[in-house]
Amino acid sequence: MIALVALLQPLAVALGAPLVLGLTRQVRARLEGRVGAGVGQPWRDLRKLAGKQRVRPTGTTVVFLAAPVLLVGTTLAAAVIIPLVGVSPLDRAGDLFAVVGLLLTGTVALTLAGLDTGTAFGGMGASREVTIAALVEPSILMAVYALSLPVHSTSLAAIVTAVSADPGRVATPAAVLAAVALGVVVLAETGRLPVDNPATHLELTMVHEAMVLEYAGPPLALLEWAAAMRLTVLLGLLANLFLPVGLATAVTGAPSVAALLVGLAAVAAKVSVLAVVLAAGEVALAKLRLFRVPELLAGSFVLGMLAVTASYFLITPTG
């Protein structure tokens, strides 16, 4: 039964991610006084793109072709490991560091594809993405480290199980600081405001969109899908690291179908709430000047650092 988690999670992410994206857009549209295209619009867009002719820019290599597949693959792999619906049996295959590594692999594949097109925009987007990634990764690692210190393990299952057993852990200064640091990092990693503007048509300001400008048709559909899945996976991770309510854990033995359904509903609810909060927050935000983005991410890094320090000083010796 537990093997189901490893199947159910990527399936749920793959199907649900466009809806999460649609939800953020719809919430934003309504808050701005627009009607909005509906929650299902990203799915309709994907269907439209998937049905289009394949066009490949001249001079591009296998790097360009492989990037969308790699991006989708790494994101789905992360979805297998991360405890979203329940604690995955494949948890031993990868810890938080592995998740970070998987997501970064996807990012690097995309930046290489951006460079592979040989256009100014691809290069520009890649350069900006790498700058941001170089600042994001240390913050993630710091926050992860702070979370793993109390449980003496970087295993996601261990962290999540410990928090489920003792929800009071979330209220420690270390956990709060780590949560904020991770929250900022998720914004940067998924290309949301104030770091990147997912809705812009201004090619000179783009980060993520600049790298994928040369894609069209089915590969573009894959990229858009992967971007939506990354957002969903990261929101799910954020939610379950700090509020693993409803998660089908192995504490009570093998989870039943009912427990899995509860877990699915719980993670869907949590991700939806986070998506709504994200969209609502974005309405009040504008895009930072590119040179101010490092300041924001440095702030996130400092929070992660403080979280680690706090974990050391405020750790309860459990032996």
Which residue in the set 292, 298, 314, 315 belongs to the binding site for another protein (CB under 8 A)?
Answer: 292
With respect to another protein, which residue has the nearer C-beta, 80 or 210? 210
- Amino acid at position 144, single letter: V
- Residue 102 or 210: the one with the smaller Cβ distance to another protein is 210
How many residues bind another protein, per CB under 8 A? Answer: 30
What residues numbered 155-194 form the site for another protein, per CB under 8 A? 193-194
Which region among 51-59, 84-92, 203-211, 311-319 touches another protein (by CB under 8 A)?
A: 203-211
Q: Does 291 bind another protein (CB under 8 A)?
A: yes
Residue 295 engages another protein in binding (rule: CB under 8 A): no
> How far is it, in rounded angstroms, from Cα 99 to Cα 101?
5
Q: What is the DSSP string of 89-154?
A: GGGGG--HHHHHHHHHHHHHHHHHHHHHT--HHHHHHHHHHHHHHHHHHHHHHHHHHHHHHHHT--
> Which residues between 12 and 31 bind another protein (CB under 8 A)?
28, 31
Buried b (16+ CB within 10 A) or exposed e, 37-55: eebebbbebbeebeeeeee
Here the tokens at position 79 are 């979805």
**315 near another protein, rule: CB under 8 A:** no
Q: Which is nearer to another protein, 54 or 289 (CB)?
A: 289
Say whether residue 41 binds another protein (CB under 8 A). no
* Tokens, residue 68: 């969308």
124 binds another protein (CB under 8 A): yes
* Contact region with another protein (CB under 8 A), list: 37-45, 106-114, 121-129, 298-306: 121-129
> Hey, is 261 helix, strand or coil?
helix
Task: Select the span of 66-74, 137-145, 236-244, 280-288 touching another protein (CB under 8 A).
Answer: 280-288
Write the CB contacts of 19 (distance below 8 Å, at least 6 apart in sequence): 39, 40, 42, 43
- How many whole angstroms separate alpha carbon 35 and alpha carbon 27? 10
54 binds another protein (CB under 8 A): no
Among 252, 258, 284, 317, interactor with another protein by CB under 8 A: 284
Question: DSSP readout, 1-29?
Answer: -THHHHHHHHHHHHHHHHHHHHHHHHHHH
Site membership for another protein, residue 120 (CB under 8 A): yes
Counting contacts by CB under 8 A, is residue 297 touching another protein?
Answer: no
Binding site for another protein (CB under 8 A): 28, 31-34, 120-121, 123-124, 193-194, 197, 199-205, 213, 283-292
